[in-house]
A and B are shown apart, each in its own frame.
Chain A
């Protein structure tokens, strides 16, 4: 499915070969009386594929929304490449692409039109925009459906379009929230292959509750439970140290 383009793609990688550093320090977020994230501190190095594990409601989506600047922290801070999403939002947004938990696209736009729009609002124009759109259509195998309305596509194709719109401007940071949710095994494989191809060349923050996915893709893993960072370390350190279900249970203690 995913094809490596030619010179255009290579040039994109040259520009953002190593990804960017993402750092969170004492990051907390409250919704009303409910503390959803509590003092999260971690650092994601350039080129890492960092996987954030946790049960539904653990705070994964809230964390990524803080990273991308859609939400504002109640306390603490987060930086992307040393830049705060609050004080330098445009600089941060220029460095990241975001794929939401469920395909959040404009159903009334055609695939090509959506990609063009995504590129335009991320600063692409003229020949660079045309090139980027063609590259994305090629890379995510969307050329046969480029004239179709997004709302009429299957879930698998919609997920490809989601990835394509997030990647159209070739960002050094890709934030992906449960990208394989609801996909069939083949589609899941294709998505994972794409993410794997970025290893070492982009920083990827991947939120998932799929242990197999985490093991397959991650260079480091963090586990969120009830808003706290219950574990942080390499795949072996975290995933092999505890029973799989215990990673999601609130009661049992986890290795540091």
Chain B
């Protein structure tokens, strides 16, 4: 166990020993903040057009119901953040195994007392810590603002939980792709490809018809995230994301053995 913790600490030290980690965190926070600011600005403009009374009054029926902070600002931003994560998480995960292999330092790990499963677990744990930190940085501004939207902390927690589950699933997919490659670009591109394929299977509907939609929704990432965005924390959705992570873990573990027998 101590060796495992040593690996996690080493991974985080290597990660934060490089400016890249800070750049990724800053990029995600900045993109989210600017997107949110832009959504708010547009929302205020819409309100200005509709509202006929000055502030302090209480006019009934002056605004369409769908014009509100939740539907116009917060939820669209959270969905955009979900797609943004697809773009950023593979950049974090591509180096985890691939860089070790390319650099040759994998041999240090593979000749240590760590089992291959522990190596995979340690790298998963360190990556998950980083992804969690990345998500926290991105949610600080929207959270501070939308509590005022009347969503309530539980709903905000549901959305955060959904983003957390989605980003961990994407990270697990990225790690599994990295475990099969010594080339970071290959690892990143394959992670993008897998994530794009399973994010939303709506692209298959023209070929399979709407009837297959329900089955496809059950194995897509985005429909599973939607429930959290709407404030529903479903055991099935949590089990889905946990299943993605578990399967990716097993595949990453397979990747280490493939290298040994290839």
Interface residues, chain A, with chain B CB atoms under 8 Å away? 31, 65, 68-72, 89-90, 93-94, 96, 98, 100, 102, 104-106, 108-109, 113, 116-118, 120-123, 125, 149, 165
Contacts and interface: CB of A to CB of B under 8 A. Distances in A.
A71 B256 CA distance: 11
Given A108-B14, A165-B108, A121 B260 contact: no
B13 interface: yes
- In this complex, the member of A31, A71, A106, A165 whose beta carbon has the largest number of chain B beta carbons within 10 angstroms is A106
B103 A104 contact: yes
Contacts of B10: 106, 109, 113, 117
A115 to B, nearest CB: 12
Contacts of A94: 113
Interface stretch (B1-9, B181-189, B232-240): B1-9
Contacts of B218: none
B197 to A, nearest CB: 29
Interface of B: 2-3, 6-7, 9-10, 13-14, 17-18, 103-105, 107-115, 260-262
Given A71-B260, A123-B113, 7 more contacts: A70-B110, A104-B104, A105-B108, A117-B7, A117-B10, A121-B109, A165-B108
Contacts of A98: 107-108, 111
A89 B2 contact: no
Given A31-B262, A102-B104, A104-B103, A93 B111 contact: yes
Contacts of B112: 93, 118, 121-122
Contact of B6 (A69, A70, A120, A165): A120
A105 B111 contact: no
A72 B225 CA distance: 42
A121 B113 contact: yes
Given A104-B103, A108-B14, A121 B115 contact: no
B111 A70 contact: yes
A94 B115 CA distance: 12
B104 A125 contact: no
A20 to B, nearest CB: 15
B109 A109 contact: no
A121 B114 contact: yes
A113 B7 CA distance: 12
Contacts of B262: 31
A65 B9 CA distance: 27
B12 to A, nearest CB: 11
B5 to A, nearest CB: 8
A149 B14 CA distance: 11
A90 B113 contact: yes
B13 to A, nearest CB: 6
Contact of B105 (A68, A72, A104): A104
A150 to B, nearest CB: 10
Contacts of B113: 90, 93-94, 121-123
Contacts of A109: 10, 13-14, 17
Nearest to B103: A104
5 contacts: A104-B103, A104-B104, A120-B3, A121-B109, A123-B3
Contacts of B107: 65, 68, 70, 98, 100, 104
B108 A72 contact: no
B261 A72 contact: yes
A108 B110 contact: no
Contacts of A72: 260-261
B20 to A, nearest CB: 10
- 3 closest residue pairs by CB, A with B: A104-B104, A120-B6, A121-B112
B14 A121 contact: no
- In this complex, the member of B13, B104, B111, B262 whose beta carbon has the largest number of chain A beta carbons within 10 angstroms is B111
Contacts of B3: 120-123
A125 B104 CA distance: 25
A108 B111 CA distance: 20
B218 to A, nearest CB: 38
A89 B13 CA distance: 27
A65 B17 CA distance: 30
A36 B7 CA distance: 33
A169 B9 CA distance: 20
A116 B104 CA distance: 19
Nearest to B262: A31
Contacts of A165: 108
A113 B260 contact: no
Given A109-B10, A125-B2, A104 B108 contact: yes
Contact of B260 (A70, A90, A106, A118): A70
B104 A69 contact: no
A69 B2 contact: no
Given A104-B105, A106-B105, A108-B17, A69 B7 contact: no
